[in-house]
Amino acid sequence: MKAFFSLIARDLKLAARQGSAVALSLCFFVIVIVLFPLGVGPEMTVLARIAPGVLWVAALLACLLTLDRIFQADYEDGSLDQLVIGPLPLSFLVLAKVIAHWLTSVLPLIIIAPVLALSLNLASDGVIAVTFALLIGSPTLSLIGAVGAALTMGMRRGGVLLSLLVLPLYIPVLIFGVAAVEAAVAMLPMAPHLLLLGGMSLGALVVGPLAAGAALRLALE
Amino acid sequence: MAIDLHKYANPRRFLAITSAIYPWSLALTVILLAAGLYTGLFVAPPDYQQGETVRIMFVHVPAAWMGLMIYTFMAVASAVGLIWKHPVADLSAKAAAPIGACFTFLSLVTGSLWGEPMWGTWWVWDARLTSMLILLFLYLGYIALWQSFDDPSKASKAAAILALVGVINVPIIKFSVDWWNTLHQPASVATMSGPKIYSSILTPLLIMGLAYTAFFVTLLIIRVRAEILARRLRILQLSELQER
Amino acid sequence: MNEIATFFDMGGYAWYVWPSYAISAVVLVALVISSRRRLKLVERALESMEAKRPARPQRKAPAAHAEKEMS
């Protein structure tokens, strides 16, 4: 357990030391969202209508963009080999890396999401809903993404392949995430959607580390 | 060399069994296809609501069935390959993927051709069409992953992991797309999404489904045979390089 | 003659029914052809490989001999 937390702490420290990476993915998230009013037009009702979808799609893409960071750097400098033969079981190693990724790359997006939601004229109920939906649903993104990242680790053009592998699997999260926000805006109960998102996160918590662990063992053979 | 022979043992038996099955499955494919096309095009009456377009169903619905069935087959084969290290299972999954992708593609195209006269548009974000589109992306990702490894034994394991993760997700995707569809789709289209199935239509549909299955088996035998021989060729080439 | 014409007309939906049958046929036939061609290519390569294989020890022996003589 100690090894587990020290690995998370190490990854957080590394991310803090090179903070530019976090800032870059934040910038990407903001720019994608800014592109939509420019593309669709500034009409407030239209923006409010598409805001939940835009926020979720942008979060999906920003998360996708950072997935290769989960294992790639450690793989390149060889520290992943050290970690794999260390005391931590492979699934827990993956889980620690995923938690670090979520804290450094996804949580910042969720923190600024309400501001961007307001700029898209989303109703205040929707702003709260989108924050909660992202908090509950986004762990799935990191967990499934870790499987894709482990599978494409060390490939030359891994990024494009990664998006083809991972994005179809993200669709349920997108659908229920958007549905939760739309339900909140329409004054309908959003609990069922959030429960489904939570269920998916729990399912991914079981499947993701196992599959990513197997993929890591394969890549390091 | 002894290890090589052990490796061949299983595929050899597989090759022997399949070459015995092959003529039968080929004949079955031809007969069933002829019967299915005949009943579908000549015997089945036009639908009272959809008219003659209902005949598109005989190539559309079986293709969609095959798309789903072949993905399930790939996942089972991948699990067998991953757990028991059965060499033919990995190769069967690899050989089946392009067939499944083709069937999924066909179900999308024919669905679109059916949708234009029925819905008045080439593409409707209907739950079934949308989930088939996602399935096509799953197939393409699987094929692309196979192609991005140089080492076939690594590729087979990586692709098997992907197929298993994918097959867990397929029901979730299907469920979520259905949910999304009920939220967004006007109800009028949903009632048009499928004709009531009468036995005069069901019979050719089932025959075509069986014909496609027999076609899949026949083609799979050809493709797996090619994969086994290609692997053997690779081993020979490598050993020749080592001897040099 | 007229019956044949009405059959191909498909109640006015000929432009939807026949292309869907045609594309199914084209894709499936293309799949069969490409699969068979791959099998034939691999079989041929394997045959030439295995034909070469038993011949090699004979070819190798004189080569080893030659090396010995050289040294």
Distance separating the N- and C-terminal Cα atoms of chain C: 89
pLDDT for B137 equals 94
Asked if B230's CB is within 8 angstroms of C49's CB, the reply is no
- Nearest-CA distance from A218 to chain B in Å? 7
What are the tens digits of pLDDT across the range A14-70? 888 877 778 888 999 999 999 999 998 888 888 888 999 999 999 999 999 888 888
pLDDT for B212 equals 94
- Nearest-CA distance from A17 to chain B in Å? 33
User: Mean pLDDT, to the nearest integer, of C22-26?
Assistant: 92
Residue partners of A188: CB distance under 8 A and separation at least 6 = none
- SS3 percent helix, strand, coil of chain C, rounded to 5, is 95, 0, 5
Distance between CA atoms of residues B238 and B240, nearest Å? 5
Q: Is A175 on the interface with B (CB under 8 A)?
A: yes
Parse chain A into domains and list their residue ranges.
Answer: 2-220
Residue of B nearest to C38 (CA): B226
Closest CA to A35 of A112, A116, A102: A116
pLDDT in tens, chain B (244 residues): 444 444 544 677 888 888 888 899 999 999 999 998 888 887 777 766 667 777 888 898 899 999 999 999 999 999 998 888 888 888 999 999 999 999 999 999 998 888 887 777 778 777 778 888 999 999 999 999 998 888 888 888 899 999 999 998 888 888 888 877 777 654 444 444 454 556 777 888 899 999 999 999 999 999 999 999 988 888 888 888 887 7
pLDDT for B185 equals 54
Residue partners of B2: CB distance under 8 A and separation at least 6 = none
Asked if C53's CB is within 8 angstroms of B53's CB, the reply is no
**What residue type is assigned to position A154 of the chain?**
G
Least CB–CB distance from A176: residue in B166, B168, B176: B176
pLDDT for B1 equals 40
List the structure tokens of B132: 């088939």
Closest CA to B91 of B237, B210, B232: B232
Asked if A161's CB is within 8 angstroms of B134's CB, the reply is no
Least CB–CB distance from C10: residue in B52, B60, B225: B52
- Nearest-CA distance from C62 to chain B in Å? 15
Q: Write down the residue that tokens 């595929």 correspond to.
A: B11
3 state SS of B195: coil
Binding-face residues of B in 183-222 toward C, CB within 8 A: 215, 219, 222
- SS3 percent helix, strand, coil of chain B, rounded to 5, is 85, 0, 10
Distance between CA atoms of residues B157 and A146, nearest Å? 17
pLDDT for B143 equals 93
* Chain A environment of B137 (Cβ under 8 Å): 164, 167-168
Least CB–CB distance from C17: residue in B52, B106, B233: B52
* Chain B environment of A207 (Cβ under 8 Å): 165, 168
pLDDT for B192 equals 45
Distance between CA atoms of residues B77 and B222, nearest Å? 17
Residue of B nearest to A158 (CA): B148
pTM of the model as a whole = 0.85
Q: Write down the residue that tokens 């931590």 correspond to.
A: A88
Distance between CA atoms of residues B96 and B73, nearest Å? 8
List the structure tokens of B88: 């033919």
- Nearest-CA distance from C48 to chain B in Å? 10
- Nearest-CA distance from B237 to chain C in Å? 8
Distance from the Cα of residue C50 to its chain's centroid: 20
Asked if C21's CB is within 8 angstroms of B233's CB, the reply is no
Distance between CA atoms of residues B143 and B154, nearest Å? 14
Q: Which residues of chain A have pLDDT under 50?
A: none
3 state SS of A168: helix
| pLDDT at residue C63 greater than cutoff 60 | no
Distance separating the N- and C-terminal Cα atoms of chain A: 26
